[in-house]
Structure formats: C-alpha cells, structure tokens
Amino acid sequence: MKADLARSRGEILADMTKHGLHITMLLLMFCSCAHAQCVPGGLAVIVNKANPVESLSMAQLRKIILGDVRAWPNSKNVALIARDPSSKDFQCMLSGIVRLSVAEYHRYIISAEFRGDDPMVIQTVDSDGSAGKYVTGSAGGLAVVEVNSLPAMGASVKVIHIEGKALGQPGYPL
C-alpha cells in the first residue's frame, strides 16, 4: 500500500512537472511574441532641422524622455512629442530606451512635482506623421518614430544618430 501511495505521489509529481513545463513554454512563447513587435532598427529619433545636435547616447536619450534633461545645448527647451501610450511606437520607445512599463513611466513623470521639478509636458499625437509635423514646428521638438514613416516626412526633420551610429548602420541600438 505504501508503494502504491509512493508511486501515486511520483506520478503526480511527474504530471505536475510535465504540465508545469508546458505552461512555462507557453509563457515564454507569449512573452517572446509580445516583445517581438519591437523590431531592432525599427525606431528613429527625429528632431527639428535647426537643432544643432547630431548624435545622442542612449543615456542622454533616456534622460530626455524621462524629463531629467529639459533643454538642448542651444538653450531651446526640449519638446517631447510622443504617440499615444497604447501605441506600439510608445511601448517600444519605453521598453527599448527607458526600460520602464507605461505605468512606471507615468508614475515617474508625475513624481516630478514631488521632486520639486516642473511637470514635464508631453505632446501626444495619433500618428508618426503628426509627430513629424510637431517636430518641424517646434525648435526643441524630439520624437521617436517608426523608421518606415520617415520617407513621408522627407527633409522636414533631422534623424539623430544614436551611440554614434546612423540609422541602418550595424550596431544602431533602436
């Protein structure tokens, strides 16, 4: 009887392990699919053509998006233009650059007042085309857009190098 009981426990553990492995595999596949929507090399950082900045490090870009840096070297105020938080662009920007979830990012931005900073103003737009128009019209404008939207913007904006790498160049981090 003890042998039957021990075997039953062993079978139960084997079944739990087998099912646990299946659940783990499903979760891994789901997570990799959710992350796969952010294509490497799929984002570009655009600024106003008059902006003297040619390149930013990932750390500098992160500080701008977090609102920790509020002015460009030419003393123009940074005007962050971003897609709606539910958009793929916005979520890829956060995961690829800032390394925060949407909720964590909003908490960080809102907490600026408690840190004694002026609240950061983010202009929300509904398309990359609209982001390009806002950047064109704002001397301090910066937006992170999908690479495939750049041809429609033409020469009205400047694409910034990241970590010294141009868009499409090996090692480009976005």
3-state SS track over the chain: CHHHHHHHHHHHHHHHHHHHHHHHHHHHHHHHHHHHCCCCCCEEEEEECCCCCCEECHHHHHHHHHCCCCECCCCCECEEEEECCCCHHHHHHHHHHHCCCHHHHHHHHHCCCCCCCCCCCEEEECCHHHHHHHHHHCCCEEEEEEHHHHHHHHHHEEECEECCECCCCCCCCC
Q: What is the pLDDT of residues 145-161, one digit of tens each?
A: 999 999 999 899 999 99
Q: Do residues 62 and 121 both lie within one domain?
A: yes
pLDDT of residue 31: 38
Q: Do residues 69 and 7 both lie within one domain?
A: no
Q: What average pLDDT does range 14-28 have in this prediction?
A: 43
Q: What is the pLDDT of residues 49-84, one digit of tens each?
A: 999 999 999 999 999 999 999 999 999 999 999 998
Q: Do residues 143 and 81 both lie within one domain?
A: yes
Q: What is the pLDDT of residues 29-40, one digit of tens each?
A: 333 334 437 888
**18 vs 30, more confident:** 18
Q: Do residues 20 and 60 both lie within one domain?
A: no
Structural domain includes residue 174: no
Number of domains present in the structure of the chain: 2
pLDDT of residue 9: 52
Mean pLDDT for the chain overall: 82
Q: What is the pLDDT of residues 120-129, one digit of tens each?
A: 788 999 999 9
Q: Do residues 116 and 142 both lie within one domain?
A: yes
Host domain of residue 18:
1-36
Structural domain includes residue 55: yes
Q: What average pLDDT does range 101-130 have in this prediction?
A: 87
Q: What average pLDDT does range 109-132 have in this prediction?
A: 87
Structural domain includes residue 152: yes
pTM here is 0.76
Q: Do residues 30 and 51 both lie within one domain?
A: no
